[in-house]
Amino acid sequence: MRRILVIDDDERIRSLLAEYLGGRGFAVSGAADGESGLEALRAGAFDLAVLDVMMPGIDGFEVVRRLRAESQVPVILLTARGDDFDRIVGLELGADDYLAKPFNPRELLARIQAVLRRSESAPAEGQLLRAGEIVVDPDRRSVRLGDRAIELTTTEFELLRTLVANAGRVIPRERLMELARGEDYASFERSVDVHISHIRKKLGDDARKPRLLKTVRGVGYTVPKNP
């Protein structure tokens, strides 16, 4: 289940989106100001943030600026001011999309789905995925750690490719479970843990103190950008 954080000082907006998006398969959390929103994004594994621009304390633009210094989680900005200047500033700071208030929840849902598709889309042909010494070649379906080639099963490759493509972000176990349901899918949730264990072993990563493929207890797994 994809997790969305709604950062808006208007409780009605937070409640509306929690009900509407929650009824369409998303897990929705809320934050009433920019500071608490940043704390939640740093502490949790969210797939996308819906962020109001006009808030007390630090505004949405400042939240995006601070967030982009440490994370690439997708962001959709909401604002009561729909002029081009605000839209351009938001996009230049690193927001992925922009929607003026008042908005139709169906349009926001469509934009969320589009942004999520873009954020998880396959890389361009010939593009390598990198996280520190880990290099994934999606075209050749190969993995290298420094100068060493790493042999992975199909499922192991898909799991590692997803993690490296989203380096620095925590990928929830539910999303990884979807990828693990291949021909060598084991049973239930332990399947992901077993695959991750195999990948770590092949990478030579210490299972007790992993450096390349880290566990975020109760949430999922992540590959640091610079392990």
Determine the pLDDT at residue 129.
92
Spell out the domain ranges in the chain: 3-119, 129-222
Per-residue pLDDT band for 157 (boundaries 50, 70, 90) equals confident
pLDDT at 150: 96
pLDDT of residue 85: 74
Structure tokens at 161: 């490719």
The model's pLDDT over 15-57, given as tens digits with 9 standing for 90+, comes to 999 999 999 999 999 999 999 999 999 887 899 999 999 998 9
| R_g of the chain computed on alpha carbons | 19
Question: Class of 129-222 per CATH?
Answer: mainly alpha
Q: Which residues of 28-52 are buried (b: 16+ CB within 10 A; e: fewer)?
A: bbbbbbbbebbebbeeebbbbbbbb
Q: What is the pTM of this model?
A: 0.58
Sign of the Cα pseudo-torsion (63, 67, 73, 74, in order):
positive
What is the share, in percent, of the chain residues with pLDDT greater than 70? 88
> Residue 217 above 80 pLDDT?
yes
For residue 141, what pLDDT band results from cuts at 50, 70 and 90? confident
Domain spanning 3-119: CATH 2.160.10.10: no
